[in-house]
A and B are shown apart, each in its own frame.
Chain A
């Protein structure tokens, strides 16, 4: 652990166990809450968050304060906070770590948000594979309730707020705010576009704030130490705060690191993550999770922050760095990502539902040595179509493919000229994995093992 790097979210990080409520309180935990509830007005909390320029950590980077401002002040009836812990973006694992490091930091952040927007109920939306974390949060919520930080009359005031843990049925699209609200409501999680924002009409048609777990975990620090402190944490001019970086791939020390916003990609990989794994040479990195493009080596000194990344044609995303070495076939890596996106599409709009499998099929052929020059053109033709999809899912899926075609075209061409994968990968199955052998009474034609046509 780097001593000189301020640890805000990971302050209480212990190996192998979460921090207890006493440990959390010993470090100033729940002080922000005590100083806020009944002492500050909700509008003051909102102003702190606005001043701190806290941007959403879930990928889109929308300023949290501006989102909260959308809640109509004159609304009569319940308001909700939804804590988005769906975290199904490949390569992203920060929320799971954060819950396991300091559950009470998360809980305090949730209550502060609820206080600011006047919510009475929170829904902790968590992906099903995080069952252990769901149990942990449920248990720590009980502890918080017993200590008066959650439930009826928090800290003896007339503010009441409680959190339910809702296990997702497990689809990537449920991470999208409007789809998540539909999922909680028991509806098909197709994203909603047009009409009022979720801050106006969300869960059960009431104002609802959907924020990423990490975003909310920043609130206790902001409220306790002030916006200026939060801004000073960042290294870049436009950034504020620290960020959890999930580093995976061919590095010496993969893991989740809390580093300032604005730290360079080179620093993250070669300093904090210990450089490349022994014997490996850097080729490229996906800097912000699976729905961001490959980043060429020339951009390694880019600051990890929303605006500089966008200016360079990259995306900050969830700050999940997947590092690839020179021995990795990027066609295969892209195919692997596209297989994920093709499987996880909600199936609402044509570019996503049909376009991603279209690219997947062509990538499978190229990776298997059956590709032609025409296939590259067909993929290139389809990328702008994916960009005009209903929600941000398909444009995100297009990013790694676009990065592949922009920076690593030679590698793609090598597959076609050599009629095999130059890295020696076995050809992928053209039919994908089998759907399973359970009897199917309806739906796609059931397929024998390894014969899935879709």
Chain B
């Protein structure tokens, strides 16, 4: 623990701390450009020079390159350091275009701050300014090289941190240019972070360009909804629409970065199609009337057919508040417990995946980045949970071995071994890889007899995991029952959606699956359905097909889903940007999202493109949407229930893992509940027999395959025109299909057109299908007639 003195104040810091970090702990912000806590020191900008007056280092040195050591006396305001920093900022401003009035970074700009901190107020330099040609870097990042101060943050992030090579520094001397060999979209799915990282306006958020000034935005801490990782974001809103999303630091989860899906998938809160008014039988009605209609119909149904005739469906993109309100409402009314998952089996698996996360075994995303061997099972990191890929990259850079077993072709910006096995073989892979390394070869031959090419890879994996000091296992919930009982092996589940963990935590054990509800509706046992923030047409197509036969269908949502269109009674809900709420990440971590904007119509719609009408006495237009939990509370009251003030607190009090946690006072980094370990009776899911056809595996894309993201215009614009399905080349040959052939996929009673692409980096006997609404309802095993040429 080196002890040093900075500006007359003593501090003791852990070994390995840089002086610039030590100063930050004292609240002294030494000016900097190239130093970034995630990227480390570069020593390029020379802005963080301080004077070392005593101790092992003497003279003017960079605080980012100097390790704190015992006996150091540092003066950040020493005249020599101040003069040096003033010269540095003078040099950096020599070529800067001073276009702050039209720069998106203005008001949020490190260069502006450091110009002031360096006391550079007058340009002495008589020469001309250097200018550059800019490039088109795709839809997300705007290039404006003239503003560049060459801190190399972008290049270090893009190439070293993320492992992509298509953007970087070129040329030398004062001609250094940060760009690509030619114009084109950045290949890095984390490229949006360049806008956050860049200390000037050189790389800015392109969609947000010219929409708002920073200081005019409302901003609030929030949590990303576009996968299950729960990355922390800051949402900036202007005129009741989300102007931009930035990464928010959380050392335990996403560090300083987020993926482009999380950054650019907002916008669904402001689409014109968003249902904002209450509906009763297709007529717009005041929301109070819609609530009354919902109450009266549900009450009448319970009266005539008994409370068992009413079922409740909850969504996997809702906050815990909404999910708990559903559980509480259904429980108090005596209805069936809410169905969140496709089947009871899926629910049990998700619950088991979370229960396995005992304090000794649970790993955070950040801890995964420090693992020295990671086995990833049934997860394609870059698409199922993009920031997971970045965490694995950090582990890999430190020397970790990464093994991914997944039926799909897997792309990762790091060296890894891929085991393309069918889903039913994943438990075998898990057993062999986590078993004794000296028996791995024999076990692999026994359990995967038809995949000799995988045996050596499995043996290597078993050896690497056995030799590792901090091994970790990333798994899909279906494998929860097969997890080895080994406390050394850290666990990190990846779940299908942002609300999956919350639903698994809150749903009662006896909650039915959506398949049961479909059977109930078909049999006439269920006559009324209350759906909160779920789209049955994607989550349960067989149930969606029966909606017409229901007596009552009450839907609460904020997205224009087909379920909303089928609703008899509709109540508009608020999005996470308007309602906020508590969310559980895939490792069970509870985090709070704060509301950032009121739920009213965005001004751009209110004013029809012109200035909104100057009416001072009326209410904000379009403020009917309210948090789903609020509407559920209203329904509960209407039904005469004595609802608890906070259904979430009430539901959580009854759950051993969550009891005693106060969701209104969660720590900044979130709170991971202490789970007790899996129950011994968890049965592994019944394996699918694949002989009859192709096992269907859904694949996420980077954009617009998650539920809210599907309704975000910008994310939607990134999707391919025609859906692409993937098939192993040998399977395709036996089916008589060739690469890029137009095919039709049998999906229930219809055929969905698609283009087939062949791959050899995937499992045999598997059909990889994008997770798009049109493919919802594919059977788990596609029969021989299910795939035909078009």
A→B interface (CB under 8 Å): 171, 173, 188, 193-194, 342-351, 353-355, 357-358, 361-362, 365, 374-375, 378, 381-382, 384-385, 388-390, 430-431, 440-446, 453-454
Instruction: Indicate if the CB atoms of B133 and A342 lie closer than 8 Å.
Output: no
The answer to whether residues A347 and B173 also contact, given A378-B124, A388-B46, A388-B60 and a CB cut-off of 8 A, is yes
Closest 7 CB pairs of A and B: A347-B176, A354-B91, A361-B127, A345-B173, A385-B87, A445-B131, A443-B177
On chain B, the residues within 8 Å of A385 by CB distance are: 84, 87-88, 91
Contact at A346–B182, with CB atoms within 8 Å? no
Q: Are B91 and A350 in contact (CB under 8 A)?
A: yes
B94 and A354 contact, CB distance less than 8 A: yes
Q: How far is the CB of B329 from chain A (nearest CB, A)?
A: 59
Are B174 and A347 interface neighbours, CB within 8 A? yes
Kindly specify which of B24-32, B164-172, B510-518, B657-665 makes contact with the partner chain.
B164-172
**Closest residue to A192 on the B side, CB-wise?**
B43
In the complex, B790 has a CB within 8 A of chain A: no
Decide if A345 touches B172 in the complex (CB within 8 Å).
yes
User: A441–B182 contact, CB under 8 A?
Assistant: yes
Contact, CB under 8 Å: A353 / B174: yes
Interface residues of B in 75-107 (CB under 8 A from A): 84, 87-88, 91-92, 94-95
Additional 10 contacts, C-beta under 8 A, given A354-B95, A381-B87, A453-B129 = A347-B171, A350-B88, A353-B173, A353-B174, A355-B87, A361-B126, A361-B127, A362-B126, A385-B87, A443-B133
Report if B457 contacts A (CB, 8 A). Answer: no
User: What B residues does A454 contact at CB under 8 A?
Assistant: 130, 174-175
Quick one: given A358-B125, A444-B132, A453-B131, are A347 and B84 in contact (CB under 8 Å)? no
A344-B173, A354-B174, A443-B175 given as contacts; is B87 within 8 A of A382 (CB)? yes
Q: A350-B91, A388-B49, A442-B182 are in contact. Are A342 and B84 (CB under 8 A)?
A: no
> Given known contacts A342-B173, A348-B44, A445-B133, is B150 in contact with A353 (CB within 8 Å)?
yes
Q: Is B614 an interface residue (CB 8 A)?
A: no
Q: Which residues of B contact A378 (CB under 8 A)?
A: 124-125
Query: SS class of chain B's interface: helix, strand, loop or mixed?
Result: loop
CA separation between A355 and B125, bound complex, in Å?
11
Tell me whether A358 and B94 are in contact in the complex, defined as CB-CB below 8 angstroms, given that A171-B172, A385-B87, A443-B177 are known contacts.
yes
- Size category of the B interface is 35 or more
| Least distance between B738 CB and chain A CB atoms (Å) | 37
* A351 x B46 contact (CB < 8 A): yes
Find out whether the CB atom of A348 lies under 8 angstroms from the CB atom of B152: yes
Q: Which of A355, A440, A453 contacts B91 (CB 8 A)?
A: A355
Chain B residues contacting A384 (CB-CB under 8 Å) are: 84
Can you report 23 residue pairs joining A to B where beta carbons are below 8 Å apart?
A: A171-B172, A173-B172, A342-B174, A346-B173, A347-B169, A349-B43, A349-B44, A351-B46, A353-B173, A353-B174, A354-B92, A358-B94, A361-B127, A374-B124, A378-B124, A388-B84, A390-B44, A430-B127, A442-B177, A443-B171, A444-B131, A446-B133, A453-B130
Docked complex Cα distance between A390 and B88 (Å): 13
Q: How far is the CA of A378 from the CA of B130 in the complex (A)?
A: 20
Query: B125: which A residues are within 8 A, CB to CB?
Result: 358, 361, 378
Name the CB-closest residue of A to B81.
A388
B757 contacts chain A at the CB level, 8 A cutoff: no
- A-contacting residues, B107-138, CB 8 Å: 124-133, 135
Residues of chain A with a CB closer than 8 A to B43's CB: 193-194, 349, 390
Q: What residue of chain B has the Cβ atom nearest to residue A351's Cβ?
A: B46
- The answer to whether A349 touches B46, judged by C-beta atoms less than 8 angstroms apart, is yes
Chain A contacts for B128, CB-based, 8 A: 431, 453
Asked whether, in the complex, the Cβ of B179 is within 8 Å of the Cβ of A442, the reply is: yes
Please indicate the chain B residues that have their CB under 8 angstroms from the CB of A382 in the complex.
Answer: 87, 91
What's the nearest-Cβ distance from chain A to residue B59, in Å? 9
Answer whether residue B45 sits at the interface, using C-beta atoms and an 8 A cutoff.
Answer: yes
